[in-house]
Amino acid sequence: MPTLPPYPLPARLYQRDVVQGMVPLTMVRVLRLYLQAQGVDPQEVLPKGLQLDDANKLGRFSAEAYCQLLIKAAERLQDPLLGLHLGQTIEPTHLGALGYVMLACENLGAALMRIQRYHRLLHDINPIAHQLGGDTLELQWGVAHGKPGALFDEAGLTGIVQFGRSLSGHKLPLHQVDFVNPAPADKRPYTAYFGCPVRFDQPMTRLVIPLSSLAAPLRQSDPTLLKLMEAQVDAAMAQLPQAGDLAEMTQRVIAHLAPHGMPELEQVANELRLSPRVFYRRLAEQGLSFRDLREAALQQVGELHLRDPRLTLAEVGALLGYSEQSAFSRAFKRWTGMSPHQWRQRALTP
């Protein structure tokens, strides 16, 4: 087991998967603002040399690295409720053009549907889906590409609720909130904020909203602005990798399976709901090699884990599916030209 930091958080906050994908750099800016508001120098938490100026407003940031920043920030602040607290500070304007699209929608339901439609601009870990059931609307996302962790999920779902309250100008009544992550020792801060039953250890993260709440007009509804800003958002979406990109999906599954042993083609094909033959043929049609994709995914995950000083080299190797540290070390040196120890020293040296 990794050595715990000086001020360990509850174990539930460390129970997560390494995830692939990206988040907008603006989410790191929001974290920086929150740290400053709490009297903490952001340089104690954020990567050195990270450019967060407005010139990089459309920049993207590793979702895995962001999840690790949330843990680091919660440790520094000694705040196991960081997700709940941080989510309440997220405003639509933090999201750039997408935020202005939401502000200009005719009602809250239309704004929330934009979150589902353009969720890949917010993160592309697990897709957000919606479901109508009787008198409610559900926004939900599962764990097909791994669990980013309680801090990420709680900040994201709280942020959506905060959007709704900010856009409509009134408290958004909710029917139910579900999280996939383990339950905290005390649920009262969650029920106090959401104002409804909150469940943990569920199959998916879920927000259930009464339809009656979604028809209320928004304070800044503007059809002309909506059309203009949505064109900008569509252009930004077009620049993202296709959601169905086979190489990206393959690498995500490999990263998810690796802690349980070295992923093989048959296992990955099964996760992608393809037969091994069809999966192999589709890779070949695109000029892709399963071995190359596996090594690229494992290298990325390995480098992310090596940045965590709490993990031993043997533990990092095990999380990549290597039963022996020596095998991991040989593979890592083949990928980078350095041993894991050398790479970690270089990466962690100020």
Q: What does the alpha-carbon distance between residue 175 and residue 196 come to, in Å, rounded to a whole number? A: 6
pLDDT for 105 beyond 60:
yes
165-185 as b/e: b if 16+ CB within 10 A: ebbbeeebebbbbbbbbeebe
55 pLDDT band (50/70/90 cuts)? Answer: very low
Angle at 261 between CA 256 and CA 267, to 5 degrees: 65
Sign for the pseudo-dihedral over CA of 66, 68, 72, 75: positive
pLDDT of residue 239: 66
> Helices then strands (H, E): number in the chain?
15, 7
Taking the CA atoms of 252, 257, 259 and 261 in sequence, report the sign of the dihedral they define: negative
Q: Where do the domains of the chain lie?
A: 11-238, 246-348
154 confidence band (pLDDT: 50, 70, 90): very high
Mean pLDDT of 86-94: 88
Taking the C-alpha atoms of residue 46 and residue 6, their distance in angstroms, rounded to an integer, is 18
Confidence (pLDDT) at 24: 83
Assigned token pair, 248: 């990206």
Is residue 42 very low, low, confident or very high in pLDDT (cuts 50, 70, 90)?
Answer: very high
Residue 309's pLDDT is: 80
Measured CA to CA, the distance from residue 82 to residue 36 in angstroms comes to 14
pLDDT of the residue at 260:
85
Greater confidence (335 vs 274) lies with 335
pLDDT of 330 over the 90 cut? yes
DSSP state of 23: E
User: What class has domain 246-348?
Assistant: mainly alpha
pLDDT at 178 over 80: yes
43 or 145, which is more confident:
43
What does the pLDDT read at residue 2? 43
Identify the weakest region by mean pLDDT among 82-96, 155-169, 202-216, 243-257: 243-257
Can you tell me the mean pLDDT for 13-26?
Answer: 84
